[in-house]
A and B are shown apart, each in its own frame.
Chain A
Amino acid sequence: MEKDKLFSFFKFSKLMTIYITYILSLISIVSFLVFYSNGLGLAYNDARSHLDIGRRVVEGLKPGLAQLGSVWLPLPHILMIPTIWIDFMWHSGLSGAMVSMVSFVATGVLIYQFLKHLNVGLTGRIFGVLVFVLNINILYLQSTAMTELLLLATMTASVYYLLLWHKDLKIVNLIKSSFFVMLSTLVRYDGWFLFLFSAGLVFLQALTNSNFSNIKKSLVLNYKKSEGTFILYSSLAALGIFLWFLWNLLIFKDPFYFAFGPYSAHAQQTQLEGAGELITKGNLILSTQHYLYALIYNSNIYVTILGLFGAVTLWLDNKTKSSVKFASSALTVPLIFNIVALYLGHSVLFIQGLSGNTWFNVRYGVMLLPSLAIFAGFLVHKLKVLRPALIGIFLFTAFIQFQSADAVTIDDARVGSSQKNVTEVSGWLAQNAKDKEGFVLISAASHDAIIFSSGLPMSKFIHEGTGKYWESATTNPERWARWIIMRTHDDNDAVWKTVSKTPDFQNYNLVAKYPFADIYELKDEFVPNVHTKPVLGKQK
């Protein structure tokens, strides 16, 4: 009888990963449908831009991989390519959301597995998964074409395999870890920091691990072995970074174009600094405060406290091997990275109440949630007596979060600086340009959301990525552009900056003026002379 029970429990435990995958997939699909039906799935301006980048690779006046651009790292857009050519997948956002949804399920399963390898019991493991899943911000972001979930999945996978390698020193785990780090370096720059941190951990672990080499025999030999391990790890892990530099060199003739180019985050931050809005730069306390607020607003104060205590419990736990604690320290990478990035002025974060009355990039706070979930799961496992209390309060808090619809990421997308209500401009285009021939000249860097929301085919637009079309249209617009969308008198808008100086500009009428962009239309007498077909053929 007892044996049977034990066997069925073992079987149940083994099947848990499958159950969790199944349940998380269902939750993921339901969440997507909820946010799709209420129109919030595409609320983030950036979500629409990500979808457009993917779409431009397969459709437009100059389709091809070069359209991946330099503003954002390419992996999220590459993963969209197999589905983005379908209009529904592009316009519903599902092409990008699918990547996030798969990442959501994978991260949930990884949290479960991570806790299992920390010798946490079933309750703690399930609690860890619940902390991650019962978070309205995560459920929202996994329903969008944003890149957060993909980053979370790749980073968590990398740290998970790093943990396994620290436990068993099997080279296959090291390679898997480096592979996922490589993927994360192609999602967001947070991954680059993880690469540096984890490479350091690999080096130190190899150097100090007595199984790896006998320290007494030869420190030099040990050093050489750790150097070898480090190189093995870094070769694959840094491949993505290397390729990104190479890409920038080949396409934009500058390996640092992504970092210092006109559309880079650096350029954006420089502008903000000029306006006195980069208040965290050079101020460690303010940087820490901003990130902690973002973290708490995304994860909830209760979960943050549980995670904090869980981390302390893990690192003070006598039963946990020091190598495991060492590997688990990589879970804190998002915290360190974000604070350092804010301090150095490479990142910007607006928290309502702390920095004015708006939100911006507050979603960065979600990056630590898998780590908090793992630490909280560990804490619940350790504090056996308090388990019912800790779990009960968590469920109660989660219930209140859902009933009060407290999702800071949705606020960030809807009312913060991340949103742009471009429906007026895109609506005008949909109504007036859809059934007429001719191209629209527009800066994708400034107005990608308009391109997306207009519902017009990508091939209707002449933008920075269209090569000769762009060059021709910005020097001689009346021959190429029937409509021009731009922010009048704003030199940050590449179209205004060039077109306003051309003599052709006087041949356009300002037909509509909106908060985010104005619409110019070619005067009727010049319309017969404007190109309406992609006559330049295939460009390289």
Chain B
Amino acid sequence: MKKIILNTTIALISFFLLLLIVRGDSGNPIYFQSELDTKLGGPFETSGNNSRYALTKALVDQKTIFFDEKLAKFASPDLVEHDGKFATIFTPGVSFIAAPFYYVGSILGYPQLLTYLSTTLFALLNIFLVASVARKFNVNINLSIISGLIFVFATSALSYANSLTQHHFSTAIILLAILNALQKRTILNNLFFGALVGIGALVDIPNLFFLAPVGIYVLTKHINLSSKLKLKPVFISLIAGVIPFIILFAFYNKQTTGSYTTLSQSIGRSSTFASEETKLIEKMPQGDRPLLPFNTRNQLDGLYILTISNERGIFYYSPILILGVLGLILAYRAKTNNDLLSLIISIILVNLTLYSMFNDPWGGWAFGPRYLIPTSALLSTALAVSLSRFNKNLLFNSLFFGLLLYSILVNTLGATTTSLVPPKVEAQNLSTQIPYTYEYNFQLAEKNTSSSLIYNLIANKYLDVKTYIFILGILILASINLIYNASFIKNLVLRKDKNYGKR
């Protein structure tokens, strides 16, 4: 019962805090609900959101996966064209998940808000999924919840918690897959795991790479080593779980590309509504294209960009995650859950390796290392191990809160201003130069520009943007601190209990 109350309280507080960063502007009554305006700081500032939103809208309003001219222009440049029909360049999973939300939103008159709420709810779910994974390291519930809160509020995951992108869906799928993989292989578990793989592919193709180590782990659990090498029959249910989604995906591909196996991404962007500049780039000779858009030659630069650079470095934007790395080392030495540790490290390595080799490790114009959001979640789970080991150490606590405050403020700044931060190479070539770090977000805050609906609707009458961000940051920190100290007090009480450790 206590657990339910605690979880409900955490969910409500987190939901309230997430509402404070919901994107939007005042209008009649709220802007962006019927206006497909791509202005900076709005929910439609990036084409990554727009192309998926266009598909959601087309699915519900027009009962089709193809775009009319208005939606095609809105989705451009993340648009493909086949047989004169326009479709999104992305895999359709996110839009499929968001469609019911859009439907309800349309009835209520808030289609955009409700559609984006789907991601917010998944972000909320991720708090508990991160906590559940962290619990597998034998850390107490409060610290595990803190690790979940850190993931959502102190990493770049916050900027994407109110968007229509794949990041939170993918993270949820990966975390669910890990939790599932650690369980006994039953028909139901296997069906669910297969479904996760299928949904993962529909949400974003790289999920297949991230789920590969988990999949291999699950497969090894089906190998019977006692006699001859053979697979347990329950293995079939894995395939049964994945098949419906593969069929759905294949039919979707057939419609958009003319082939069951060809993805929209692989036929290239449509230049029909592209800017002259984009058309020029598309026309440039591309040379022999390899099978996959990855090249090991990019890895050195990519790794730098994604880890420590001021452009997209995960430890630059969320230095609190350094304690997650420490947690992995501690977990390795403690040998509490080797299988889990191996899975987590595998996925982190796949995530880092894959995107460090990618042609665009920045993730285009974005805030923070958006491609490393799954890694942020996994490092957050390990962070709980560090907290568990050192939470009585004053020096560690000082470091923890220092890093946490910085991480929360930086990411709150991003979430309440814009996700459109250019890579250095592009920023330096703009006619009007803008910073390529979160300094850009800070400049926007100084100009009193915010993407927060609550701020633009209510709080702007009382506060400037910087104060709003500061208050929001302090509220997040205070919530985490409250849980952290509750854990500390509880530990103190338990230590006085003679029976502590025997339970």
Contact = CB atoms under 8 A, between A and B. Distances in A.
Interface string B270-311: 000000000000000000001110111101100100000000
B300 A385 contact: no
A388 B353 contact: no
Interface in A378-425: 383, 385-386, 388-390, 392-393, 396-397, 400-401, 403-406, 408
B300 A388 contact: no
A318 to B, nearest CB: 14
Nearest to A383: B332
B290 A403 contact: yes
B355 to A, nearest CB: 12
A114 to B, nearest CB: 26
Specify the main secondary structure of chain A where it touches its partner: helix
Contact of B342 (A293, A388, A406): A388
A404 B353 contact: no
Interface string A291-305: 001001100111000
Given A388-B342, A393-B349, A406-B295, A301 B213 contact: no
Interface bin, chain A: 20 to 34
Given A386-B342, A389-B345, A297 B297 contact: yes
Contacts of B291: 403
Given A301-B300, A302-B299, A388-B216, A396 B292 contact: no
B290 A393 contact: no
Nearest to B357: A400
B261 interface: no
Contact of A301 (B299, B338, B345): B299
B420 interface: no
Contacts, number: 69
Of listed A300, A400, A403, residue having the most chain B CB within 10 A: A400
Contacts of B295: 400, 404, 406
B294 A400 contact: yes
Of listed B338, B341, B346, residue having the most chain A CB within 10 A: B346
Nearest to B347: A389
Contact of A406 (B213, B217, B297, B332): B297
Contact of B213 (A389, A400, A404, A405): A389
Interface in A248-305: 293, 296-297, 300-302
B338 A385 contact: yes
Contacts of B356: 301
Contacts of B292: 400, 403-404
A404 B342 contact: no
A392 B213 contact: yes
Nearest to A304: B300
A393 B332 contact: no
Contacts of B300: 293, 296-297, 301
Interface in B209-264: 212-213, 216-217
B433 to A, nearest CB: 23
Interface in B36-70: none
B342 A396 contact: no
B346 A406 contact: no
Contacts of B332: 383, 385-386
Interface string B327-349: 00000100100100110011001
Given A297-B300, A385-B332, A397-B353, 13 more contacts: A293-B300, A302-B299, A385-B341, A386-B332, A389-B342, A397-B296, A397-B357, A400-B357, A403-B290, A403-B292, A404-B290, A404-B296, A404-B357
Interface of B: 212-213, 216-217, 290-292, 294-297, 299-300, 303, 332, 335, 338, 341-342, 345-346, 349-350, 353, 356-357
Interface of A: 293, 296-297, 300-302, 383, 385-386, 388-390, 392-393, 396-397, 400-401, 403-406, 408
9 contacts: A300-B299, A388-B217, A388-B342, A388-B346, A389-B213, A397-B299, A400-B357, A403-B291, A404-B290
Q: List the 3 closest A-B pairs by CB distance, nearest first.
A: A389-B346, A404-B295, A401-B296
